[in-house]
Amino acid sequence: MASTDAILAARLATEAGALLLALRRDHDPVTGTQALRDAGDRAAHRLLADALAAERPGDAVLSEEAPDDAARLVSRRVWIVDPLDGTREFGDGRDDWAVHVALWQDGELTAGAVALPGLGADGVTLGSDPAAIVPPRDPAAPPRIAVSRSRPPAAAQRAAEALGADLLPMGSAGFKVAAVVRGEADAYVHAGGQYEWDSAAPVAVARSAGLFASRLDGSPLRYNQADPYLPDLLVARPELADALLTAVADGAVAQPVRSS
């Protein structure tokens, strides 16, 4: 193989992010924001699909932007990608969107990368190898919980009340998990409906950095399932995980809302 899976994931996520930035920069506003969102989804998916077909021709792919192929269910290796996580934020000219590339192999996430193209001059890409180093937090400061800026869940509100935490509304799931990895938040609580591609790469990156990740009821996150709906997620610094799981234990049942 030309590179390790983790290096490949990081390279492809970064390249897709650069493509999306160029697309947004060159976009003609006359065609409208929705046209930009659609063009971004298509372009990033095509880049990732073509590159994975060339670099890992024997692997299956599960992408938000392509029809699901049941052949992945009997494959040992499945790339789970979200070519543009946070399509709304991308189209609105915001920075809180991401590109997700993860590899599931023999039942586990084994590699992942989350590109944050809107950060800094050249963007930022977090990968699973080398793992990111999570900055220390001030134990005297109130915890910070990243939540959806459009659908903050009641479970997060309860967690904030129980822990005396502050809620930080943000865009894409990848951006919110990255905020925990980067030390800008201490946890991410989601209960509004997600799919495997929303969390696979962010969870791979978070776990490699030593963070905790599970369903809101504490059960394992399972990927490459026949139904890719994976509705809720907790990513947290390990020292806060037990308290957060207790606080969100009565969380509302998530509804299957397709993410963007």
With beta carbons less than 8 A apart as the criterion, state whether 167 and 252 touch.
Answer: no
Torsion sign (Cα): 229, 74, 64, 99: positive
User: What pLDDT sits at residue 258?
Assistant: 42
Condensed to tens digits (0 to 9), the pLDDT of residues 142-173 reads 999 999 998 889 999 999 999 999 999 999 99
* H helical segments located in the chain: 5-25, 33-55, 87-91, 154-163, 173-181, 196-208, 238-247
Please indicate if the annotation marks 198 as binding a ligand. yes
Q: Are 143 and 97 in contact (CB under 8 A)?
A: no
Whether residue 85 is annotated as binding a ligand: the answer is yes
Q: How confident is the model at residue 254 (pLDDT cuts 50, 70, 90)?
A: very low
Cis peptide preceding 130, ω within 30 of 0: yes
Instruction: Work out the widest C-alpha separation in the chain, in whole angstroms.
Output: 50
Average pLDDT over residues 29-58: 96
Q: Please report, rounded to a whole number, the percentage of residues in the chain having pLDDT higher than 70.
A: 95
The annotation status of 82 as a binding-site residue, yes or no, is yes
Mean pLDDT, residues 2-30 taken together: 92
Q: Inform me whether the pLDDT recorded for 252 exceeds 60.
A: no
111: three-class secondary structure by DSSP? strand
| Structure token pair of residue 164 | 């005396």
Residue 69: pLDDT over 90: yes
C-beta of residue 129 within 8 angstroms of C-beta of residue 112: no
Q: Please indicate if the annotation marks 166 as binding a ligand.
A: no
- pLDDT given at position 177: 98
Q: Which residues pair with 235 in a beta bridge?
A: 188, 213
Entry pTM: 0.93
To the question of whether residue 84 is assigned a binding role by annotation, the answer is yes
pLDDT (mean) for 72-96: 97
Domains defined for the chain, CATH in brackets: 4-127 (3.30.540.10), 144-250 (3.40.190.80)
| Rounded Cα–Cα distance for residues 81 and 85 (Å) | 9
